[in-house]
Amino acid sequence: MDTLVTPRSNFSHLFSAPVIVAALGYFVDIYDLLLFGIVRLPSLASLGLSEAEISSTGASILNWQMAGLLLGGILWGILGDKKGRLSVLFGSIITYSLANIACGFVQDPATYKILRFIAGVGLAGELGAGITLVSEILPKHLRAIGTSLVAGIGLLGAIVGYFTVEFFDWRNAYFIGGGLGISLLLLRIGVFESGIFEGVKSQKHVTKGNFFALFTNKDRFVRYMKCIGIGLPTWFVIGILATFSNEFGKALGIEEPIRPGLSIMWCYVGLSAGDFSSGFLSHWLESRKKAVFFMMAFTLICSGIYLYTGIKTATGLYTVATLLGFGIGYWAMFVTIGAEQFGTNLRATAATTVPNMVRGMVIVMTTLFASFKDSFSVIDSGALVGLICFVIGFYSILTIPETHGRDLDFLEE
């Protein structure tokens, strides 16, 4: 007698253990990733640095963290394709959790740089491996919504990070972040590996996790660079407009001192809402490209409002920061596009390195911003950096192949 198998509902797919664990993992990842930006001013001041030293040293530590993300993205991406998506989720969280706990004990800027670099290496693995795993286990008609849930829930970690610093000393905020990460390891027990990856794992003749393969084929290289290009406006908003909002506030003549931590928090409130929305927008439009294009255009308009409409109050600036965050809420779509562009044997490598290449480009953005300030105003310097990012971003999304509804069970030759 045949047994009828009841098809799983969309709800059961979207709220399965791998999706929930990936979302919670990204929540802790974002908390720890942005914690330095939130505690930059109080932590460096407590180490005895002057206002000028806080600006230069803060930018330097941020760059060290971003350099760690760049290196870690490559490391975890390769491991994700060679050893499995779950191995990355475990290894990365151990690395950044221990590094964040150690940051709570830091006594000098030099040690601070090293620890944020190690934390950056660890933080690089979480999002790409999580999005890759979720993309491969969900039915293709639910991928956009599923990955948006992961990012939307995960990005709330920034809000929790901000309020943690409001109620606790900055050192304790680092201890809490590390503790959350260690606790999350227990939830990961029992989460199953992607079936698509398991099918490729046994194929010994297939080359897996070859990072350099992204550069040895012209078509693959162009797709990879366009994936990175799509994400540049997101970290222009976070790494320049929000992180240095205190400088923009002064340049705009806002009397109340602007708190970068609060700007980042409001930006991520919008970003979380935007990420939830982008998945449903992509699903409704049946297009990744159209959804990202519309949200990128909205971000461009809001950037112009932020810089050139003469905002005069702190409330006004924080409001526009929230709208900017909503605009860059195509972050989940951008990482999903990166995962969908490449075959199973390179998918984790691409999906993990792409967002971290974008994060790493903050080093270039902050360097350009500082360089432009020698010849231009703070406002115009920010606008010039933004112009470069948006030109590359729009070109990339308009010319990259559409991946909505693509079957992911294929290999890169």
Please report which confidence band the pLDDT of residue 1 belongs to, taking 50, 70 and 90 as the band edges. Answer: very low
407 domain residue, yes or no: no
Amino acid identity of 114? I
Taking the C-alpha atoms of residue 408 and residue 413, their distance in angstroms, rounded to an integer, is 14
DSSP string, 255-299: SSPP-HHHHHHHHHHHHHHHHHHHHHHHHHHT-HHHHHHHHHHHH
Taking the C-alpha atoms of residue 45 and residue 377, their distance in angstroms, rounded to an integer, is 26
119 domain residue, yes or no: yes
Task: 390-396: list long-range contacts, CB under 8 Å, 24+ apart.
Answer: 390/232, 390/233, 390/236, 390/296, 390/299, 390/300, 390/303, 392/229, 392/232, 393/229, 393/230, 393/231, 393/232, 393/233, 393/296, 394/293, 394/296, 395/229, 396/225, 396/226, 396/227, 396/228, 396/229, 396/230
366 domain residue, yes or no: yes
Q: What is the pLDDT of residues 96-144, one digit of tens each?
A: 999 999 999 999 999 999 999 999 999 988 888 888 888 888 888 888 8
pLDDT over 80 (residue 333): yes
7 domain residue, yes or no: no
186 domain residue, yes or no: yes
Report how far Cα 299 is from the mean position of its chain's Cα atoms. Answer: 16
pLDDT of residue 38: 80
pLDDT of residue 213: 86
pLDDT of residue 375: 94
8 domain residue, yes or no: no
Q: Span 356-381, mean pLDDT?
A: 91
pLDDT over 70 (residue 6): no
- For residue 364, what is the DSSP state? H
Residue ranges making up the domain that contains 120:
14-190+211-399
Report how far Cα 18 is from the mean position of its chain's Cα atoms. Answer: 19
208 vs 348, which has greater pLDDT? 348
Report how far Cα 304 is from the mean position of its chain's Cα atoms. Answer: 23
352 vs 387, which has greater pLDDT? 387
Q: What is the pLDDT of residues 200-233, one digit of tens each?
A: 666 665 666 688 888 989 999 999 999 999 999 9
Q: What is the pLDDT of residues 257-310, one digit of tens each?
A: 998 878 988 998 899 899 889 988 998 898 999 999 999 999 999 999 999 999
Amino acid identity of 48? G
- Number of structural domains, the chain? 1
Q: What is the CATH number of the domain that holds 231?
A: 1.20.1250.20
Please report which confidence band the pLDDT of residue 53 belongs to, taking 50, 70 and 90 as the band edges. Answer: confident
Q: Span 163-175, mean pLDDT?
A: 91
pLDDT of residue 345: 83
162 domain residue, yes or no: yes
Taking the C-alpha atoms of residue 176 and residue 276, their distance in angstroms, rounded to an integer, is 26
378 domain residue, yes or no: yes
Share of the chain above pLDDT 70, in %: 91
pLDDT over 50 (residue 5): no
Sequence-separated (6 or more) residues with CB below 8 Å from residue 363: 63, 66, 67
Taking the C-alpha atoms of residue 66 and residue 60, their distance in angstroms, rounded to an integer, is 10
The CB density around residue 401, as the number of other CB atoms within 10 Å, is 13
Q: Span 18-23, mean pLDDT?
A: 84
Q: What is the pLDDT of residues 109-121, one digit of tens each?
A: 999 999 999 999 9
Q: Are 282 and 291 in contact (CB under 8 A)?
A: yes
Taking the C-alpha atoms of residue 142 and residue 140, their distance in angstroms, rounded to an integer, is 5
324 vs 191, which has greater pLDDT? 324
Look over the chain and give the mean of its residue pLDDT values, rounded to a whole number: 87
For residue 198 the two structure tokens come to: 């398991």
Q: Return the C-alpha torsion angle 235, 236, 237, 241, nearest 10.
A: 130
Share of the chain above pLDDT 90, in %: 45
34 vs 392, which has greater pLDDT? 392
The CB density around residue 22, as the number of other CB atoms within 10 Å, is 31
pLDDT over 70 (residue 199): no
What is the pTM assigned to this prediction? 0.83
The CB density around residue 250, as the number of other CB atoms within 10 Å, is 13
Angle between helices 218-236 and 362-372 (to 10 degrees): 60
Amino acid identity of 281? L
Taking the C-alpha atoms of residue 242 and residue 321, their distance in angstroms, rounded to an integer, is 7
pLDDT of residue 380: 97
pLDDT of residue 362: 86
